[in-house]
Structure 1
Amino acid sequence: MSDRLRPSIVWLIPVAALLISGALLIRVTVHRGPRITISFITAESLEAGKTRVRYKDVEIGTLKAVHLSTDRARVLAEVQLDDSPKPFATCGTRYWVVRPRIGMTGISGLSTAVSGAYIAADIGGTSGQCKGFIGLETPPSVTDDQKGKRFVLHADSLGSLTAGSPVLFRHVQAGRVLDYSLSADGADVVVDVFVDAPYDGYVTSATGWWQASGIDVRFGSDGFRLDTQSVASLLSGGVAFDTVTRMPAARQAADGASFVLAANRADAAQGAEDGAAARVLMRFDQSLRGLSIGAPVDFHGVELGRVTAIDMDFNPATARIDMLATLDLYPTRLGHHYRQALGNGDSAAGRYLLHQLVENGLRGQLRVGSVLTGQRYVALDFFPRARKVHIDTQRTPVELPTVPNTLEELQDQLAGIVNKLNRVPFDNIGRSLDQTLRTTASLFQQVDAELIPEAHATLSAAQKSFNAANATLAQDSPLQSDVHQALTELRRTLASLNSLADYLQQHPESLVWGKSSSSAQGN
């Protein structure tokens, strides 16, 4: 063989490189992980070839491509997983984008502001393999490897709760709110919560749940009350739980157990200790101003229940609009006999006992609980002189009779007096009095202008006359001397007349014959 036909050693190098590359390609192809597609609403912070897929900060794949779906409603992210994380292709796996987020429960994902956003994964519990996944828009509150239990709470309203709100056990955060929704009939709100281990062991059949806002301030008919929880619940609300009743055989609650979410701890304790509430109605023919939902129902200082609703109802019998108050009462608080009757399941005995109470004068009455706030409450009491009434215990809810408040009656009487006073024409009387006063003032002005000067002149003339009379009657005046002389002469004349009368009495004949000479001489 000639040297030209003999292969050169230079060609062995590219052949060896080609064989090595093929082996590496076969190795990569054989050991490459699955390729999956994750659907998101937006492609914010996603970059093909740069965005990584991580599980507990360990890279398990890379984002290869991003494109729109056929209907352009979502974004499809194609992810190439590595060989080792094949379990992340199971159907129950969850994916979400980790980026900086600011919410009511705090700030998360700050590290991505420097390193960039990434796709996080949480392994699912199913074993089947899937190619397509629906990405979460927010991080899940609970990952699959967290230990604890889920519970379902039923509340009348959501209040200030939101996803991520804390779940507190004796002011210690023991879990979080996962989600919430309305029930099928819309009657209540269903709240899903998760309690971390080991706190989930404290949830038993004797546990009560209630909404715990940051600051619970109450200023009503039962006084001023302040209750605080945590700073986190101040911002986003919260749920608290604790043992509210002593049960001899309390057992741990199972995963997924349901509870009633009360408005506050007191309501939670009432629900646990007193059982189901009995709903009753009370009809009032007076204003319910000052009576609010949640106001207590009191019997001699013992709280029997709460006001749950206030409504109006037209009464055809009186052609008036009555005010209705719906109450939730706890019959077990009415005493041992009532509890015994209810405990034996004898509803007829309970109805008979209620008939007896009403027959003896049990009535409802509105009373003022706080003069400062004007808040009212409903009082149950016995009024022996109350008008006899008949109640229908077969009706649901039962309507209990009421009596008016004596203070209200007094106010009505005072209002009647005020109405009568309002009908008095004070304006006309005032105008007449003003006119009379003006006339009197004019008369006084006329007297001062006309009569007083004339009176001054008359008084001056009278003073002159008095002075003249005084001068005339003075002791050293001529008139006084003449009067004395005249009186002397008058006395003499009277003496002569007396002598003449005596003579005539002794000698009456002298009136005919004249005075005799002897008599004259003797005289």
Structure 2
Amino acid sequence: MIEEKKNVENLRRVRFNTIWLVPLVAIMVASWMLYQNWSSQGPVITLTAPNAEGLEAGQTKLKARNVDVGKVIGIRLSSDFDKAIIQVRMNQGTQKMLREDTKFWVVKPRIGREGVSGLGTLLSGAYIDMAPSEQGKESTEFTLLSQPPLSTKKEGVRILLHSDDSSKLDVGSLVHFRGYEVGYIEEVGFDADSGSITYRVVVKPPYDALVNDAVQFWVTPGLSFKSSVQGFEVRLDSLETFLSGGISFGLGKSRSAGQPVKDLTSFRLYPSKEDADNNLYDQTLEYVFLFDSNVSGLAAGADVEFRGVRIGTVLEVPFTGISMDTLTSHERPVIPVLARIEPQRLNAWKVSGDVSLKKWQELLDYRIHQGLRARLEIGNYLNAAKVISLDFMDNPPPIKLKTFEGYQVFPTGPDSLANIEGKVSIVLDKLADVPLKETFDKLGKTMGEANETLRQLQAVSKSVKLLLDQSETQALPADLSDVMAELNLTLETYQANGQIGRPLRENMVSLGRALNELQPLLRQLRENPNTLIFDSKPRLDVQPKAAR
């Protein structure tokens, strides 16, 4: 009994020993801390990236608007060792930000055309930034972007552009409308099926109202150099487009605005504004021109003119839709050129449908029968660029071929250089027909006669000189001087104050005075011839005057 009581007392001492309170409190505190840590943690998300450059597990933070919302807890390779898998522990309360449209990217020092960014990470290290989204379903798996997104808002309108023959533009390249910056390239891709480069373009509001189904898009290179019939053209756009190029859009000439478009509507991207303008002419007549001359200087895009007015465009030089049998079937080898007549250039967009094209076809056929022919002409002598010129010819060659590889043939004539060569050849032929030998013989005989005449003149000149050297000839001037003195003296005698001139002048003055005095008498005799016999008027008796 005594031992049992001792055991009970020992148990009571152990049960109520205060030392056991310390581990108990420690367990309770640890449990509370674990609960607090577990309750404050958010979900774990997975980011897939090509590499994990600049990221460290337990150090790299994830931020939204520069606020810490998570931390990288693990980095590993994918099962195929092709990508990096990054796990991020998000903070509690961030579940609503994790949507399918949420974007993640690494912030680090970058130098681009937008400027220098991310310099603050030189000291703090790179971090992951995110653009939260409220659209889409909740998700925990995302792809880490290689570049920061240009826009995180679904604003404006997005357009898909397809380019077949232009160089690649970079993401962020600007979109202009009449020189104003209205958007940018958001994404660049490549369509393997069509072999074309694709661009997703964003046009920001309020400029998105300018996009409709009638606009056209073209590339605006920063620096372009073009040589054409019009001459040399150098164009320099803004500095931004000079560095990276850009895209412009607008309505064509005489076109009205169309209907608004929806997001991701497809348009074709033309390599230049000229190509975009030429594409507006959708009602055309295509012909093949067979030239029997040198086509150097004629290129695709050259003008087809009628007396200096552009009415069409050259499409292919030479025309590739031909075969060797076709070329060898002609009497003389010819160079086929495919071009088109564009009546809309002259008819101010009134050409529509097959009816108007049929009328233009009939008109051209009628003019061809009247002598309308095509020939090559140099449009610019600086760069030797050629054009196809249509005009009427006198006595044109007959039309032999009507169609060529399914295209109607437009009859051609000799080019301007060939005409010049022909005229020069004619002149040379006429010169060859001239009897040059007889002409030179006659010319030689004439020159001989001229030499004989000159010899005779020299002999006469020598005789005259001998005559003048004689003393009798030298005495002639003195006698001639005496004769001239006597003649002068005689003339002075007959002058007004001379011995004969003065009396003659006085007599003439007296005679004039006498004639003036006789004029009344002569006038009276002319009026009354009997004046010499009778008095002119009867005399009246004198009447005495009355007294006053």
User: Which of the numbers 296, 301, 304 marks the counterpart of 1:294?
Assistant: 301
Match of 2:46, as an amino acid?
T
Equivalence for 1:374: 384
Q: Indicate which of 118, 122, 145 corresponds to 1:109.
A: 118
Q: Which amino acid aligns with 1:318?
A: H
Partner SS, residue 387 of structure 1? coil
Partner residue in 2 for 1:119: 128
What are the superposed Cα offsets for residues 370-398 of structure 1, whole Å, 9 maximum, x if unpaired? 11221222223333532343776897554
Match of 1:494 in 2: none
Residue 348 of structure 1: how far off its partner (Å) = 4.4
Q: Per-residue displacement from partner, 1:62-101 (whole Å, max 9, x unpaired)?
A: 1111111222222111111222222443334333322223
- Select which of 359, 369, 389 maps to 1:359: 369
Q: 1:48 aligns with which of 54, 57, 66?
A: 57
SS of 2:53's equivalent in the other structure is coil
Task: Quote how far apart the aligned CAs of 1:230 are.
Answer: 1.2
Select which of 140, 143, 153 maps to 2:149.
140
Matched, 1:202 2:214: no
Q: Is this contact kept in 1: 2:158–2:201, CA < 8 A? A: yes
Report the Cα offset of residue 346 of structure 1. Answer: 6.1
Cα offset, 1:146, TM superposition:
4.7
Matched AA of 2:156: G
Contact 1:342–1:350 (CA under 8 A) maintained in structure 2: no
Structure 2 residue matching 1:289: 3-state secondary structure: coil
**Change over 3 Å in CA distance of 1:261–1:417 after alignment to 2:** farther
Pairing of 1:314-463 with structure 2 (within 5 A):
314=324, 315-318=327-330, 321-335=333-347, 342-343=352-353, 345=355, 348-383=358-393, 385-389=395-399, 397-411=407-421
Supply the AA of the counterpart residue of 1:115.
S
In the alignment, is the contact (CA less than 8 A) between 2:215 and 2:257 conserved in 1?
A: no
Determine helix, strand or coil for the equivalent of 1:135.
Answer: strand
Indicate conservation of the 8 Å contact 2:312/2:340, yes or no: yes
Please give the alpha-carbon distance, in whole angstroms, between the structure 1 residues aligned to 2:30 and 2:174.
Answer: 56
- Number of the residue aligned with 1:166: 174
Distance in 1 of aligned mates of 2:64 and 2:341: 54
Structure 2 counterpart of 1:477? none
Question: Equivalents in 2 of 1:327, 1:202: separation in Å?
Answer: 34
CA offsets, 1:293-344, max 9 Å, x none?
A: 33222223332333333226541223655323333542322447xx766446
CA contact (8 A) 2:97 2:134 kept: no
For 1:190 and 1:328, the matched residues in 2 are separated by 29
Shift of 1:107: 4.2
1:180 deviates by 3.7
- CA drift of 1:406 comes to 2.6
1:154 is matched with 162
Question: What is residue 222 of structure 2 aligned with on the other side?
Answer: 214
Task: Name the stretch that deviates more: 279-288 or 7-16.
Answer: 7-16
- 1-structure distance, mates of 2:45, 2:406: 59
Match of 2:68 among 59, 74, 95: 59
Contact 2:96–2:134 (CA under 8 A) maintained in structure 1: no
Please name the residue that 2:521 is paired with: none
Instruction: Please tell me whether residue 311 in structure 1 is matched to residue 323 in structure 2.
Output: no
Contact in 2 for aligned 1:206/1:245 (Cα 8 Å): no
Match in the other structure for 1:22 = 31
Aligned-partner Cα distance in 2 for 1:348–1:303: 20
CA distance in 1, matches of 2:43, 2:113: 38
CA contact (8 A) 2:285 2:357 kept: no
* Matched-pair contact (CA < 8 Å) for 1:160–1:236: no
Aligned-partner residue type, residue 258 of structure 1: S
- 2:263 aligned to which of 236, 255, 274: 255
RMSD: 3.5
Cross-structure match for 1:486: none
Shift of 1:209: 2.0
Residue 22 of structure 1 aligns with an amino acid whose one-letter code is S
- Aligned residue type for 1:112: T
Evaluate the alpha carbon distance shift between residue 155 and residue 381 of structure 1 in structure 2; reply closer, same or farther with a 3 A threshold. farther
Give the CA deviation at 1:150: 1.0
CA contact (8 A) 1:164 1:178 kept: yes
Question: Which residue identity is paired with 1:119?
Answer: I
Q: Contact 2:185 / 2:200 at 8 angstroms: preserved in 1? A: yes
- Tell me the amino acid that sits aligned with residue 406 of structure 1: S
SS of equivalent to 2:28: helix
User: Residues 385 and 69 of structure 1: is their aligned pair in 2 closer, same or farther, counting only changes over 3 Å?
Assistant: same
Segments of 5+ residues of structure 1 without an aligned counterpart are 419-523
Change (3 A) 1:71 1:182: closer
Q: Which residue matches 2:198?
A: 190
Q: Where does structure 2 lack aligned partners over 5 or more consecutive residues?
A: 1-7, 429-548
CA contact (8 A) 1:361 1:386 kept: yes
Shift of 1:148: 1.5
After the TM superposition, which residues 205-284 of structure 1 pair with which residues of structure 2 at under 5 Å, given as runs?
205-248=213-256, 250-272=258-280, 274-275=281-282, 279-284=286-291
- Displacement of 1:238 after TM fit? 0.8
Q: Tell me if structure 2 keeps the 8 A contact 1:206–1:246.
A: no
TM-score normalised by L of structure 1: 0.69
Q: Percent identity?
A: 29
Equivalent residue letter for 1:64? I
Name the CA distance, whole Å, in 2 between partners of 1:126 and 1:4.
Answer: 66
SS in 2 for 1:25: helix
SS of the equivalent of 2:225 reads: strand
CA contact (8 A) 1:105 1:165 kept: no
One-letter amino acid of the counterpart of residue 211, structure 1: V
Q: Given that residues 391 and 400 in structure 1 are in contact (C-alpha distance below 8 angstroms), is that contact kept between their aligned partners in structure 2?
A: no
What is the CA–CA distance in structure 1 between the aligned matches of 2:298 and 2:17, rounded to whole Å? Answer: 107
Of 13-22 and 169-178, deviating more is 13-22
The structural deviation recorded for 1:410 is 3.3
- Counterpart contact for 2:375–2:416, Cα < 8 Å: no
1:20, distance to aligned residue in structure 2 (A): 4.0
Check whether the contact 2:218–2:270 (CA below 8 A) recurs between aligned residues: yes
Alpha carbons of 1:303 and 1:87: their partners in 2 closer, same or farther (altered >3 Å)? farther
Q: Distance in 2 between matches of 1:187 and 1:319?
A: 41
Q: Give distance in 1, aligned partners of 2:338 and 2:112.
A: 39
- Specify whether residues 19 and 403 from structure 1 end up closer, same or farther in structure 2 by C-alpha distance, changes over 3 A only: farther
